[in-house]
Structure 1
Amino acid sequence: MRTQKVARLRFKKWLVGIAAVLLTSTIGTTVNAQSLDSIYFASNFQQEVKEELAQKSDSIFVVNVKIIKADNPGMVHYNVGTSILFSEDEVITNYHVIQEFEEMKESDQGKLRIASPDKLSKWIEADVVYTDQKRDIAILKLHQKVEYKPVTFAEAQDNQSVITIGYPANPAGQLLLLDRMHEGNHTLWNTIAKKRVYDSQTSIVGKDYVGSIQKEIAHGNSGGPVLDEDLNVVGMVTFVYDGMTYFITSETMQAFIEQYRESTANTAEITS
């Protein structure tokens, strides 16, 4: 009898062990996304949508610019924003996010880094490779390839419901010094919110390549995506004016990326 009890106990432990392995395997395949606990959802989303957005937000990178000026070395200047992964080693963002780094004096020291929000302790340095100051767009080339899925693009429609993702706004809208951040520290928040497109093609102050969203958006969303309900990028947040948020259209972004591709191809032909 005692032998049978021991056998049953061992069998139960074996089942528990198998279940634990299966659970760990399942978790291992889905936890490529950052933890839902580290995301601040400013609007109501169903659980399934939250999980999709967690996966999508891994391809929406935090941008961290650090400048130390020669005339004031004791003061560190930071600029922070958001960027969108469109290839395995390239992101697109606003020019004004990296402007101070791009235009700094030779005597100053600067560092441009980005990170996917699920790996904030593993910053990747980047170079500014293509810019358009007038349209407020810049492309950054990462020093290494990443294993995240690049975004897909679609066209915005008037009055459609959209979702914005931006860093590094926390629930209070405060900016954070990212050198103090460590992976697992959830004081850095990814703000995800629902919005509605007011006009998919508008013109303001001569900017005929932008669309507009009802309501202002928090600081830190600059360079972040405007997503449709299928989580395609329909625009990139660029500025706030008179109570409205304006975004660079996906058509403009794709045309800019194509210009960049053509310019690098021409450079390769000349140097080869």
Structure 2
Amino acid sequence: MPQSHIMPGFRPALGFTLFYLALIVLIPLSAMLLKTLQLSLDQFWEILTSRRVLTSFRVSFGAALIAAGIAAVLGSVIAWCLVRYPFPGKKIFDALIDLPFALPTAVAGIVLATIYEPKGWIGKWVMDAIGVQIAYKPLGIVFALIFIGLPFVVRTIEPVLQEFDSAMEEAAASLGANRWQAFTNIILPNILPAAITGFALAFARGVGEYGSVIFIAGNMPYVSEVVPLLIITKLEQYDYAGATAIGLIMLLLSFVLLLMINGLQWWMRRRNGQL
């Protein structure tokens, strides 16, 4: 009698997984889609092409992309320092990286708005030095999303650097490679897929971020209003179909962008022989 290669408990585990996906993911998304289908095509198009909606999408996705890119660079440097260099207070600094995970988003928003407002500690100095206002502008949204997204990048790259064999760098140096050549040809190809993963996580979090953004954004229509706030505004006006229409498009755009990023990551891993 042939032995089954299926692990014990496979069917209950699969059933629980499908139940979870249906209850938590598929049913809410289906309800949003059905609510959106109550609109005619002309009504749907009118909502999505209104100036206020287009501006909010540009603010949300633009700020999330910029913040995720900056977080990817800064997070790579921080992860490198934490893995490669000993310094006083390293454990405390390492613990502080996870602070945005534990800190309620509303509290983070209030703190950031207090610091970066025109009369705040940093906001006043920046205003006096270069005449740039951070809080209550789209720039404030970028700062808030960098704060939220940075831990995703650091914690994604850190394990890769810990497993990286430094003997490869020593071999490159012995063959005459300088530091820049060793970094671009050996280190960067190994950490780039992890950096792209961290970028994708920071971007996904930034697009849907609400609590830490509304306090520092100013929430001015056509200037600094993000899509989640616009959805809340529609719901407060009992425009449920309009809110679900905006949410559906936001979901589709986020899915397409994340699919492209994951495809790029897969291509890079395959090119580097990691698949």
Q: TM-score range by the shorter chain?
A: under 0.3
Q: Which one has a larger percent strand, Structure 1 or Structure 2?
A: 1
The alignment's TM-score, normalised by the length of structure 2, stands at: 0.23
Q: Which one has a larger percent helix, Structure 1 or Structure 2?
A: 2
Relative contact order: is structure 1 or structure 2 higher (C-alpha 8 Å, sep ≥ 6)? 2
